[in-house]
């Protein structure tokens, strides 16, 4: 029976790299045109379908962040779980209740 007095050590994960807001904005600026072009045909799509369609060009998490930003800024509308381009004159970004 082993009688080691050493305590087992936990593996040390690498610290997460902090991405500043400028990096996030630049990433979204690169991805937004692809998202808007995909939705330009007027067909509502779920986040999963949009992510899958852009998977060869963009990271899934980056596409999800772009969808959030485009929704908040009023460029996309979300109805249920599907995204579409915002209607012209739709009144801009959603207002807080």
- Decide if 54 is inside a domain: yes
Per-residue pLDDT of 17-70, as tens digits, reads: 656 888 888 999 999 999 999 999 999 999 999 999 999 999 999 999 999 999
CB 76 within 8 A of CB 83: yes
- Decide if 53 is inside a domain: yes
Structure-derived torsion over alpha carbons of residues 18, 61, 58, 50, reported in degrees to the nearest 10: -160
Instruction: Return the pLDDT at 94.
Output: 58
Task: Note down the domain range covering 72.
Answer: 21-85
Q: How many structural domains comprise the chain? A: 1
Q: What is the CATH number of the domain that holds 77?
A: 1.10.10
CB 35 within 8 A of CB 70: yes
- Decide if 94 is inside a domain: no
- In this predicted structure, the answer to whether residue 73 has a pLDDT above a threshold of 70 is yes
- Decide if 12 is inside a domain: no
């Amino acid at each position: 029976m082993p009688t080691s007095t050493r305590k087992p050590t936990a593996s040390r994960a690498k610290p997460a790299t902090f991405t500043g807001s400028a990096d996030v904005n630049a990433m979204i600026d690169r991805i937004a045109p692809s998202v808007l072009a995909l939705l330009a045909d007027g067909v509502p799509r779920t986040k999963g379908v949009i992510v899958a369609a852009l998977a060869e060009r963009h990271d899934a998490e980056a596409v999800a962040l772009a969808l959030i930003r485009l929704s908040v800024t009023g460029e996309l509308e979300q109805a249920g779980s599907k995204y579409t381009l915002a209607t012209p004159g739709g009144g801009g970004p959603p207002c807080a209740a």
